[in-house]
């Protein structure tokens, strides 16, 4: 990296009006303190096709359908995660890239790919209700999603919060490989 450009980059980023800026930690952290911005660490990784593992036949996971949209929107409405579900959900469902677990009529766990190209998919919005944790639902939803994406010849990628150690263990158990550390400037 040419460090001569860092002051120019910093001046440009200070002036930008974007609420959130993401970038590789090894670059952005060289900029030093940014006025009126804080940093938040993220990890970035992928799941290769060789790490694919099948779901058990008695898995409670289902591929989400258009009929599930209201329940999924309700599920995310009370969560403190950044995802634009209502705008993206029809396309995600059309792609077959959302997997859920329901208890009764309520969605209690979900994993989805919210952006896809012909070769890659960015997964996110992975969440399980607190009362339903510890049952393997999040792992099963994410595994079903990864298997689905691999069948479509897409490699799943994800960002996750680097400050939460349980996420490292969760994604490691699925076989994700950490490739980079990122930061969000906000």
Tokens 């329940």 found at: 71
Across the strands, what pairs with 21? Answer: 185
pLDDT of 34 higher than 60: yes
pLDDT computed for residue 6 by the predictor: 79
Question: For the domain with range 46-181, which CATH number is right: 3.40.50.1010, 3.40.50.150, 3.40.50.620, 3.40.630.30?
Answer: 3.40.630.30
Query: What is the enclosing helix (H) or strand (E) of 120?
Result: strand 120-128
Averaged pLDDT, 140-150: 93
pLDDT computed for residue 184 by the predictor: 85
Measured CA to CA, the distance from residue 70 to residue 72 in angstroms comes to 5
pLDDT in tens, 38-74: 888 999 999 887 666 666 677 899 999 999 999 998 8
Quote the Cα angle for 13-19-25, to 5°. Answer: 55
What is each CA distance from 123 to 40, 48, 120, 132, in whole angstroms?
A: 19, 14, 10, 21
Token representation of residue 138: 């999040």
Indicate the average pLDDT of the chain: 86
Which stretch, 21-35, 68-82, 171-185, has highest mean pLDDT? 171-185
């Amino acid at each position: 990296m040419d460090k001569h450009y860092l002051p120019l980059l910093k001046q440009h980023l200070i002036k930008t009006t974007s609420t959130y800026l993401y970038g590789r930690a090894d670059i952005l952290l060289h900029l030093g303190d940014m006025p009126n911005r804080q940093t938040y660490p993220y990890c970035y990784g992928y799941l290769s096709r060789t790490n694919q593992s099948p779901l058990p036949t008695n898995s409670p996971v289902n591929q989400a359908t258009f009929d599930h949209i209201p329940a999924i929107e309700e599920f995310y409405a009370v969560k403190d995660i950044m995802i634009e579900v209502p705008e993206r959900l029809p396309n995600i469902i059309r792609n077959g890239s959302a997997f859920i677990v329901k208890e009764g009529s309520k969605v209690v766990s979900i994993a989805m790919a919210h952006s896809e190209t012909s070769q890659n998919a960015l997964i996110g919005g992975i969440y399980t209700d607190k009362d339903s944790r510890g049952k393997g639902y999040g792992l099963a939803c994410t595994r079903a999603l990864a298997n689905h994406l691999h069948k479509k010849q897409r490699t799943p990628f994800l960002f996750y919060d680097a400050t939460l150690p349980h996420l490292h263990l969760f994604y490691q158990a699925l076989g994700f490989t950490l490739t980079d550390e990122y930061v969000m400037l906000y």
